[in-house]
Amino acid sequence: MQLYNQSKRKKEEFVPVTPGQVKIYACGPTVYNYFHIGNARAFIFFDVLRRYFEYRGYEVTYVQNITDIDDKIIAQAIEEQTSFEEIASKYIQAFLDDSQALGIKPPTHQPKATDVMPEIIELINVLVEKGNAYEVNGDVYFDTASLPEYGSLSGKKTEDQMPGARVEENLQKRNPADFTLWKRSKLGEPFWQSPWGEGRPGWHTECVVMSRKYLGETFDIHGGGIDLIFPHHENELAQALALTGKPLANYWMHNGFLNVEGEKMSKSLKNFFNARDILKHHSPEAIRFFFLSKHYRSPIDFNREIIEESERAVENFYSSLKSIGFVENSIVEDNSLSQAEQDFIAAMDDDINSAKAIAVLFDLNRQIRNEQLPRSQREQAALMLVKLGRVLGFFQNLESILQDSVPDLSKQLMELILAYRAQARAKKDWAVSDRIRDDLAALGIEIKDTPEGCTWSIKSIH
């Protein structure tokens, strides 16, 4: 398996720290609002990465943090005239609900920043004692000049980081690139007691503590959106290197930007969409298909036409499964389509190329639709479509969606057959009535006579 490693600027063979195990940390939300579709891309991609490793037989430990104390959370609390705890609690639940709606599996661990405050303070204190951090008037900064490797992840040099869009101007700092580890609280703001006075942690330190707590000093994969490479991930790595001399993670993976109608998503441009806004109009699988139809490192443009195409593609998969009356667990896999699985694995092993993997699903879909092929081959194609599709997070509610598992014409035919059977029963012609029931049972269609009337369902394929 080859993965693109941001720290090396190239694809590398994936070799886990512990054979047979994969430890992944992906940055989660700062819970001051509903997460937007750009966030959704990252959450869905790392869900697929986790699923693929599990499909390949690895034992996966997946950690995703929740930042529940931050300037934005405090600002939102002031705006809504409530406490930061109420804001965090409200949007944590919204995040969990929306993640579930998108078919994202719960992480192995999902710690909150406020859960690890003693560990955060301890880590900062160690950095101060080692000379990699310094305190000024209750604020603590990381001294980037103390770490020669600083900038290795992003390629940015400290001397190039003058105050500007990504570097705050602060005369207390020794160097403009120095970043905050501990922030003194202003009057009325939430705070925790520390050796440097009342305050709260910087964003970059929280993730170092939470990832190391659950995954160890050096784990396999650290990821997030491309916008997190600098300064967030650079500053996480700096703290880890200062603490132990070891990298925080061996592979750093980042998904590309998302634009809307060719422009950067922005509230001022009125093209800012929360995931739950999109979920009101499109199925979770269409949203997932939309993101996975492009390579995760490529930029992607969100527009209504493309998401509607994604909706049709997903509907086509289900339509194909319905066309042959697919019933889960009724077909025994015979490995005759092992080439399709090999092609799928080859695509995913090439830096998680989900776009090529979806091409394999399309090929399987064509086989299901091809009435010139033997029935058994079409059934095997359907079985493989579901098996591989689930690696990408599709077909999670297959049974409920396929309950109405016959095309409209077939439904009309069934209604006609049952109408003839009802006439036979009305005439007390039990022989004809029973024969219709038994013949349908031989086709895998079960008939039940109830006080409310006759019902039918597909039980198996023959």
- pLDDT tens-digit readout, 356-403: 999 999 999 999 999 999 999 999 999 999 999 999 999 998 877 776
Predicted confidence band of residue 330 (pLDDT cuts 50, 70, 90)? confident
Give residue-wise pLDDT tens across range 406-428. 455 666 788 788 888 989 888 99
Give residue-wise pLDDT tens across range 264-299. 777 667 778 899 999 999 999 999 999 999 999 999
Amino acid 389: pLDDT: 98
Q: What is the pTM of this model?
A: 0.85
Q: Mean pLDDT over residues 347-354, rounded?
A: 98
Q: With pLDDT > 70 as the criterion, what percentage of the chain qualifies? A: 93
Q: Three-class SS of residue 439? A: helix
Predicted confidence band of residue 460 (pLDDT cuts 50, 70, 90)? very low
Task: Confirm if 46 and 84 have CB atoms less than 8 A apart.
Answer: no
Q: Where are the domains of the chain?
A: 2-264, 303-401, 408-458
Give residue 177's identity as a one-letter amino acid code: A
d(CA 292, CA 261): 18
Amino acid 265: pLDDT: 79
For 2-264, give the CATH class: alpha beta
pLDDT score of 430 more than 80: yes
- The two three-digit tokens of residue 372, written as one number: 């010139």
Calculate the average pLDDT of the chain: 91
d(CA 363, CA 360): 5
Q: What is the CA radius of gyration of the chain?
A: 27
CATH number of 303-401: 1.20.120.640
Give residue 303's identity as a one-letter amino acid code: N
pLDDT score of 462 more than 50: no
Q: At what angle do helices 375-391 and 304-323 cross, to 10 degrees?
A: 140
Task: Confirm if 382 and 331 have CB atoms less than 8 A apart.
Answer: yes
Q: With pLDDT > 90 as the criterion, what percentage of the chain qualifies? A: 76
Do 303-401 and 2-264 have the same topology in CATH? no
Q: How far is CA 209 from CA 41, 172, 292, in A?
A: 25, 25, 31
pLDDT score of 144 more than 60: yes
Predicted confidence band of residue 159 (pLDDT cuts 50, 70, 90)? low
Find all residues with CB under 8 Å of 384, minimum gap 6, and list them: 333, 337, 340, 341, 364
Amino acid 270: pLDDT: 73
Phi/psi of residue 172, nearest 5 degrees: -75, -20
